[in-house]
Structure 1
Amino acid sequence: MIIIRPIQSSDYDALHRIAVESGHGFTSLPVNEKLLKNRISHAEASFNSSVTEPGNEGYLFVMEDTKTGAVVGTSGIEAAVGLDDAFYHYHLGKVVHSSRELNIYNTVETLSLCNDYTGASEICTLFLSESHRKNRNGRLLSRFRFLFMAEHTERFADTVIAEMRGVSDESGASPFWKWLEEHFFSLDFPTADYLTGIGKKVFIAELMPKYPIYVNLLSPEAQKVINKVHPKTVPALRLLEAEGFSRRGYVDIFDAGPTVETQTALVKTVRQSQKCQVIIGDVVNDNKYIICNDKIADFRATQAPVLLRETAKQVVISQAVADALMVNEGDWVRLVSN
């Protein structure tokens, strides 16, 4: 069975392997032993903390194949970004240059450095190993986070965002960063991306241009990738768009990939999820649901066929699913159709 659970210290080797597999542009998992171990310990502390409002908690989960015990994916939620370290974006805007006397009117796009998403919750760190990109596991690994957020609303902000990976080539070179590197940074994209991933962000404030950048002054290659996603990220973007996420003109400062956002309460999975009381029994249908328990430190989620008794707010699940979710008859679970 495939389950999702909070990460623990014994998962370090698996997390390191995932960090290597994920490649360039996956800033939230740098290949750095100290940082990865810190990420795990921070997650463990977050899951065990008593929370009344979102703070600097970071919840990191892993997907485990219980047949082999192998960790095959990871997925995370940051409760509120930018509270400790500045959280930078570029915002796409417009400036109008006009002269009535000369009958000239030109609209120019600009990129302005900002911290507008400070305090928002962020879904992040989604990666699934190639071997398990099947059986709707990718949807499970993305969508279960919204069940967790719906169940524990006090831990998350009203706005939730997701930074989508921008365009870069196989060697990690970004056309957008290439222009910034040439004119402002003298750092290649993988190095800048890595420094950000390990928390060294001071260089951004020190070296980033202080005034809005006119988009039409960028190289044609850089202009083409603004607000575009990496080909491998297209499925993830489509899934989030189906959940109600949309672009608001914010892009990543390194690769210009889009950031999408929505109100947490308006996420499709949040709105359509329901709480039901567990009945353990035989389930013969094929109607698969994403289902999770109501715990935090002992959180578990999976996808499984269930028999929903909607009017009575009850759900029939098999004993194997109950064991995987660590629930007993009479306990409450949250679920949504997959």
Structure 2
Amino acid sequence: MLVVRPITPQDYAALYTCAVESGHGFTSLPVDETLLRRRIARAQEAFAREQVSEPGEEGYLFVMEDTDTGEVVGCSGIEAAVGLTDAFYHYRLGKIIHHSKELDIYNALETLTLCNDYTGVSELCTLFLREPFRKNMNGRVLSRFRMLFMAEFRHRFSKIAIAEMRGVSDENGESPFWGWLQQHFFSMDFTQADYLTGIGEKTFVAELMPQLPIYVKLLPPEAQAVIGKVHENTRPALKMLESEGFRCRGYVDIFDAGPTVEVEVANIKSVRDSQKLPVKIGSTDNTKARYIVCNTQVANFRAIQRTLNVYSDHVVIDAEAAQALQVQEGDYVRFVTLTGAN
């Protein structure tokens, strides 16, 4: 059975493997032992905090484990509030009007402006599922369970949630958008800039990024073409988030111009549709309806996909599922229907 749980120090080797396999442009999983171990330690601190009244520096990192083999097959995270200590940069797409009444000329020109508008919001991040396990809706579970966690522990998160989508880059990790910035403002390639950001070295952004709005039309056609577009491997993740209510509001990544999507947490479909009921343990053989289901604990959080029998005042789960979720009869679980393609 595949179970989602909080990461532990013993998962370091598996997390490092995920970082290597995730490839270029996956900023939140740098191939750096010190940073990955620090990320694990920070997650442990977040899960251990019992008294949290508002979102802060907490970074929750989970892994999906195959309990039959003990193998970690993927990871997924939530940042409670971004940009509180390190600046959190985006480009905001806007327009500037150039108009001459006398000459009868009117031009509406798109611009990119460096900003920190998403400071303090929650972020869904670090979603990676290893290739052999990208089936049976595992990817959907690994992403959507976070919405149940946020629904159960609303006070730990902002009213707004975002997700940064990986932008377009080639097989060598080169971004057409970054190519223009590199030529005119930086002396480093995309992979180096992306890596520095991933390990928290962001000072160079403030020092070297153009501070005035950039006219999109001044960029080469190949750079213009990828603004707001996602990497081929990221399209399923974007489609899933859009089905949950996430939308792009004109913000893109400063390196590869991939879109950032946002939503009010209360309006996330899985948050709205989730239910919370006490458990009875028994047979679920008479149903084929599958759900994402989690317990209601923080430090001992568990989530799985499973068939359930749902009634008005309780939910029936089988003994194996109860053991995986570490719940007993009478304990509460939160759940939502698992539908759609992976």
Which of the five TM-score ranges fits, normalised by the shorter chain?
A: over 0.9
- Counterpart code for 1:264: V
CA distance in 2, matches of 1:78, 1:176: 26
CA positional deviation for 1:286: 1.2
- 2:334 corresponds to: 334
- 1:307 corresponds to: 309
CA distance in 2, matches of 1:20, 1:170: 15
Q: Which of 272, 288, 291 pairs up with 2:290?
A: 288
- 1:197 corresponds to: 198
- 1:26 corresponds to: 26
Q: Does 1:47 align with 2:47?
A: yes
Q: 1:20-40: CA deviations, max 9, x gaps? A: 000000000100000000000
CA distance in 2, matches of 1:136, 1:198: 31
- 1:7 corresponds to: 7
CA positional deviation for 1:186: 1.2
Q: Does 1:274 align with 2:275?
A: yes
CA distance in 2, matches of 1:323, 1:180: 53
- Counterpart code for 1:20: V
Q: 1:115-144: CA deviations, max 9, x gaps? A: 000000000000000110000000000000
- 1:239 corresponds to: 240
CA distance in 1, matches of 2:319, 2:92: 50
CA distance in 2, matches of 1:48, 1:156: 16
CA distance in 2, matches of 1:237, 1:27: 17
Give SS of 2:225's match.
helix
CA positional deviation for 1:336: 0.3
CA distance in 1, matches of 2:205, 2:34: 22
CA distance in 1, matches of 2:276, 2:36: 34
CA distance in 2, matches of 1:92, 1:210: 14
- 1:187 corresponds to: 188
CA distance in 2, matches of 1:225, 1:147: 33
- 2:136 corresponds to: 135
State, as a whole percentage, how many aligned pairs show the same letter: 64
- 1:178 corresponds to: 179
TM value normalised by structure 1: 0.99
Give SS of 2:28's match.
coil
CA positional deviation for 1:192: 0.1
- Counterpart code for 1:73: G
Q: 1:295-330: CA deviations, max 9, x gaps? A: 000000000000000x22x00000000000000000
- Counterpart code for 2:194: D
CA positional deviation for 1:67: 1.0
Q: 1:167-209: CA deviations, max 9, x gaps? A: 0001100000000000001110000000000000000000000
- Counterpart code for 2:308: V
CA distance in 2, matches of 1:210, 1:27: 23
Give SS of 1:286's match.
coil
- The answer for unaligned runs of 5 or more in structure 2 is none
- 2:319 corresponds to: 319
CA distance in 2, matches of 1:169, 1:74: 24
CA distance in 2, matches of 1:243, 1:59: 21
Alignment of 1:190-269 (within 5 A): 190-269=191-270
CA distance in 2, matches of 1:137, 1:262: 23
CA distance in 2, matches of 1:305, 1:276: 15
- The answer for unaligned runs of 5 or more in structure 1 is none
> What is the count of residue pairs matched by the alignment?
336
- Counterpart code for 1:316: V
CA distance in 2, matches of 1:136, 1:235: 11
Q: CA RMSD in A?
A: 0.4
CA distance in 2, matches of 1:181, 1:165: 18
